[in-house]
């Protein structure tokens, strides 16, 4: 079974998706259909974009929380070994 190629959204599509996301983090099926037809995308592409964007926002918030609370955790002393970084 052949995998679909990764779709890159145009600047205009990304701009509109982000604008809509700021107003509304979840779309109903009819809203998704409407936005998809406006942007010449499939409703599934819009759905996945919203899912991914919600996850990115959540992850960014969690990382900010970790970065902001180093004082509580004992804050990166030499004995701590650093942790957290890398991939």
Establish if 30 belongs to a structural domain: yes
CATH of the domain at 61: 1.10.10.60
Which tokens is 14 given?
């990304």
Q: Is the pLDDT of residue 70 over 80?
A: no
Establish if 57 belongs to a structural domain: yes
Contact between 41 and 13 under an 8 Å Cβ cutoff? The reply is yes
Establish if 87 belongs to a structural domain: no
Task: Say what the pTM is.
Answer: 0.69
Q: Which range marks the domain in which residue 39 is found?
A: 11-66
Phi and psi for 21 in degrees, rounded to 5?
-60, -40
Establish if 62 belongs to a structural domain: yes
Which tens digits make up the pLDDT trace of 17-55?
A: 999 999 999 999 999 999 999 999 999 999 999 999 999
pLDDT of residue 85: 53
Q: Kindly write down the DSSP assignment for every residue of 3-49, as one continuous string.
A: PPPPPPPPHHHHHHHHHHHHH-S---HHHHHHHHHHHT--HHHHHHH
DSSP label of 78: G
pLDDT of residue 69: 62
Give the chain's domain count. 1
């Amino acid at each position: 079974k052949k995998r679909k190629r990764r779709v890159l959204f145009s600047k205009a599509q990304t701009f509109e998706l982000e604008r809509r996301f700021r107003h509304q983090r979840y779309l109903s099926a009819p809203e998704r259909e409407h936005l998809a037809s406006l942007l010449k995308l499939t409703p599934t592409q819009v759905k996945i974009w919203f899912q991914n964007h919600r996850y990115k926002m959540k992850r960014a918030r969690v990382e900010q929380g970790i970065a902001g609370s180093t004082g509580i955790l004992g804050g990166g002393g030499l004995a701590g070994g650093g942790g957290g970084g890398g991939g």
